[in-house]
Amino acid sequence: MSEKKPRKSNARKRPPSSSAAPDRMRRLHRATLSLYTDLSLDGTLRRIVQAARDLTQARYAALGVPDGKGGLAMFLTEGLSQKEAARIPHPPIGVGLIGEVYRSGRSLRLPDLTRHPRSSGFPEGHPEMRSFLGVPISAFGRPVGQLYLAERIGETEFTEEDQSLIEMLAAHAAAAIENARLYRQVQDREGELAARNRELELVNSLSTAVSTAVELEPLLQGILDRVMGLFHAQAGEVFLRAEEENVFVPVIHRGMAEEAFWAASQFRVGEGFVGRVAETGKAIWTTNLAEAGEPRFQRKAVIEAGFGSLVSVPLKARAQVVGVMSLAFLGERPLRVEEIGLLEAIGAGVGVAVENARLYRQARRIAVLEERERIAMDLHDGIIQSIYAVGLTLDTAKIMLQSAPGQSESSMREAIERLNSVIRDIRAYILDLQPSRMPLDDLAEGLARLANEFRANTLIEAELRADDGLGRSLDAVVRSAMFHISQEALANIAKHARASRVWLSLRTEDGEVVLQVIDNGQGFDASATPALLGHGLSNIVERGHAIGANVEIASSLGDGTTVTVRLPAGSRPL
Q: By CB under 8 A, is residue 374 in contact with other proteins?
A: no
Q: Minimal distance in Å, beta carbon 396 to other proteins?
A: 5
**Is residue 522 part of the contact set for other proteins (CB under 8 A)?**
no
What whole-number distance in Å separates Cα of residue 418 and Cα of residue 214? Answer: 46
Contacting other proteins (CB under 8 A), which of 192, 258, 395, 559? 395
Report the side by side order of strands in the sheet with 284-286: 267-268, 247-255, 235-241, 320-330, 307-317, 284-286
Shortest Å, Cβ 418 to other proteins: 7
418 scored as a contact of other proteins (CB under 8 A): yes
The residue among 159 and 385 lying less far from other proteins, judged by its C-beta, is: 385
Crossing angle for the helix pair 405-433 and 476-492, nearest 10 degrees?
Answer: 170
**DSSP string across 407-458:** HHHHHHHHHHHHHHHHHHHHHHHHHHHSPP---SS-HHHHHHHHHHHHHHHH
Among 266, 286, 396, 473, contact with other proteins (rule: CB under 8 A): 396
Binding of other proteins at residue 20 (CB under 8 A)?
no
Question: What is the Cα–Cα distance from 445 to 39, expressed in whole angstroms?
Answer: 67
Nearer to other proteins (CB atom), residue 397 or residue 460: 397
Question: Stretches 149-157, 300-308, 371-379, 451-459: which one binds other proteins (CB under 8 A)?
Answer: 371-379
Residue 532, interface with other proteins (CB under 8 A)? yes
Q: Between the CA atoms of 81, 83, 88 and 91, what dihedral angle is there, to the nearest 10 degrees?
A: 50
CA angle 330–334–339, rounded 5-degree value: 110
In contact, 161 and 308? CB cutoff 8 Å: no
Choices 114-122, 207-215, 216-224, 377-385; region in contact with other proteins by CB under 8 A: 377-385
First to last CA, the chain: 75
Minimal distance, residue 439 CB to other proteins, in Å: 32
Tell me how far, at minimum, the Cβ of 411 lies from other proteins, in Å.
Answer: 9
- Applying CB under 8 A, the span of 38-46, 159-167, 249-257, 387-395 interacting with other proteins comes to 387-395
Q: Which of 386, 473, 550, 571 binds other proteins (CB under 8 A)?
A: 386
The burial of 477, by beta-carbon neighbours within 10 Å (0-12 exposed, 13-18 middle, 19 or more buried), is given as middle
Q: Please enumerate, as own/partner, the contacts of 528-535 that have beta carbons within 8 Å and a separation of 24 or more.
A: 534/381, 534/492, 534/496, 535/374, 535/377, 535/378, 535/381
Please identify, using beta-carbon distances, which residue of 233 and 541 lies nearer to other proteins: 541
Residue 118 in contact with other proteins, rule: CB under 8 A: no
| Neighbouring C-alpha atoms within 13 Å toward the C-beta of 95 | 8
Indicate whether 381 belongs to the interface with other proteins (CB under 8 A): yes
> Which listed residue (379, 401, 448, 464) binds other proteins by CB under 8 A?
379
Is 419 an interacting residue with respect to other proteins (CB under 8 A)? no
Is residue 319 near other proteins by the rule CB under 8 A?
Answer: no
Task: Report the residue from 399, 416, 476, 557 that binds other proteins according to the rule CB under 8 A.
Answer: 399
Task: Compute the residue count for the chain.
Answer: 574
Residue 353's alpha-carbon distances to 61, 210, 320, 349, 360, in angstroms, are 62, 6, 13, 6, 10
Q: Is 369 in the site for other proteins (CB under 8 A)?
A: no
Residue closer to other proteins, measured from CB, 179 or 522: 522
Task: Give the interface with other proteins as residue ranges (CB under 8 A).
Answer: 376-377, 379-381, 384-386, 388-393, 395-396, 399, 418, 529, 531-535
